[in-house]
Structures are given as structure tokens and as C-alpha cells.
Amino acid sequence: MTGQAPDTAAKNTYTQGFLAGLERTFAENVAPYALALVKDEVGVTYHKAMDLTDLRSSSFTVAENDQAAWQTGFRDGRRAGADKKKEPLAAKPASLAE
């Protein structure tokens, strides 16, 4: 670890696990509803005109061999939002009832 306290590195490792858990849950829940996206020429032209080539990526330090922090984050990420009840489908209006 360079430049960061061990607590920060452990938090970063936990965060990586948490995000991996969220990503897995999202992929499992979205896969049956996947859509095909098509690039629109106007959007492609606008994106190229933004000239985003000089963006810099950031880096961070993680705790080496801290599987417990990563696994805890992953588990928490998988459970995120699980306590929220899903809204029931709206009832059909009487005029549409069969």
C-alpha cells in the first residue's frame, strides 16, 4: 500500500466487493429484460465533438489479501435493496376488466 492508511485501503477493498455484488445482482435481474441498443448518428457525432480524450482515470489503493473485507462488501452489495418490497402491479381499471 502506498500513500494511504490501512483503514482507507480496507474501505476501498470493501467498496470493490460491494460494487461487484451490486453488479452481479443487477445482471441477474436485468438479463431477462435486456434491450438492444442502437447508436444514433446524431449522438455519435455529438459525443465525438465533446473531445473527451484528455480525461484522466483515478486510482486507489486496496488492502492486499483482505478477502474478508471484499467478501463482506460483496455480500452486502448482493443484499442491497433486498429489504425493499416490490410494488405490486397496478390493478386494471374496471373498464378494462374482462
pLDDT of residue 19: 93
The reported pLDDT for the residue numbered 88 is 47
Give the contacts of 36 (CB within 8 A, at least 6 positions apart): none
- Whole-number Cα distances in Å, 14 to 18, 27, 81, 83: 6, 20, 18, 21
Q: Where are the domains of the chain?
A: 14-28+68-80
pLDDT value of residue 6? 65
Span 27-32, mean pLDDT?
77
pLDDT of residue 1: 43
Average pLDDT over residues 35-55: 78
pTM: 0.52
